[in-house]
A and B are shown apart, each in its own frame.
Chain A
Amino acid sequence: MPEYLVKENALADFFQVLAKGHRLLAPQGQGDNCQLAVVSGPVSLNYANTHLSPKTVFFPQTEKILAFHKLADKPHYNVYQDLGDHAEPTVIFGIRPCDARGLSVSNKVFQNDRFTDPYWKGKYDQTVKIGLACLDPSPQCFCAAMGGSPFGELGLDVLAYPKAKGLGLKTLTKVGEELIKAAKAEPTDLANELKDLEKKAIAAQGPLDDYQTINKRQIMELYKADHWPNTAEPCLGCGVCTFFCPTCHCFDIQDEANEIGGLRMRNWDTCMSPLFTLHGSGHNPRPSKTERVRQRFMHKLKYIPIKQDGIRGCTGCGRCVVMCPANIDIRSVAALMAQASA
Chain B
Amino acid sequence: MGNLETITQKIRDKAKNLLSSGQAEVVIGYRQGTIPLVAAPFFARKAEDCDKLVWSSFARLNLANYLPSRKGKVALVAKGCDARSAVGQVTENQFPRENLYILGVPCSGLVDPALVAAKEPRPIREAKETDDAITISGQDFSLDIKKEEVLRRNCRTCSHRTPTLSDELTGPEVPSLQPDDFSDIKDLLAKTPAERLVYFKDLIKDCLRCYACRNACPLCYCPICFVDETRPQWLGKSNDPMDTLTFHLLRGLHCAGRCTACGACETACPVNIKVREFNRVLDRSVQENWSYEPGLAWEQKPPLTVYQPNDPAEFIK
> Which residues of A are interface residues toward B (Cβ below 8 A)?
30-32, 48, 51, 61-62, 136, 138-140, 230, 233-234, 236-240, 243-244, 252, 254, 256, 265, 267-268, 270, 273, 275, 321-323, 325-329, 331-332
Contact = CB atoms under 8 A, between A and B. Distances in A.
B34 A32 contact: no
B236 interface: yes
13 contacts: A31-B117, A136-B139, A139-B35, A139-B36, A233-B66, A234-B40, A240-B268, A243-B208, A265-B238, A325-B216, A325-B268, A327-B40, A327-B41
A323 B264 CA distance: 14
A254 B237 contact: yes
Nearest to A137: B123
Contacts of B228: 273, 275
B40 to A, nearest CB: 3
Contacts of B125: 139
Interface in B212-250: 212, 214-216, 228, 230, 236-240
A61 B206 CA distance: 12
B211 A239 contact: yes
A48 B123 CA distance: 9
Contact of B34 (A239, A268, A275, A332): A332
Given A238-B216, A243-B208, A325 B267 contact: yes
Shortest beta-carbon contacts, A-B, top 9: A327-B40, A238-B212, A325-B268, A62-B238, A239-B210, A236-B215, A234-B41, A238-B215, A329-B34
Q: In which size bucket is the chain B interface?
A: 35 or more
A332 B34 CA distance: 9
B256 interface: no
Interface of B: 33-36, 38, 40-43, 61, 65-66, 114, 117, 121, 123-125, 138-139, 208-212, 214-216, 228, 230, 236-240, 264, 267-268, 270-272
B212 A325 contact: yes
Given A243-B208, A327-B34, 12 more contacts: A31-B121, A61-B238, A139-B35, A139-B124, A236-B65, A236-B268, A239-B212, A243-B270, A254-B238, A265-B236, A267-B237, A275-B230
Contacts of B216: 236, 238, 325
B277 to A, nearest CB: 18
B63 to A, nearest CB: 9
Contact of B42 (A30, A136, A140, A234): A234
B43 A233 contact: yes
Contact of A326 (B40, B123, B236, B240): B40
Contacts of B124: 139
Contacts of A230: 43
A273 B66 CA distance: 17
B270 A240 contact: yes
Given A256-B238, A326-B41, A327-B33, A237 B123 contact: no
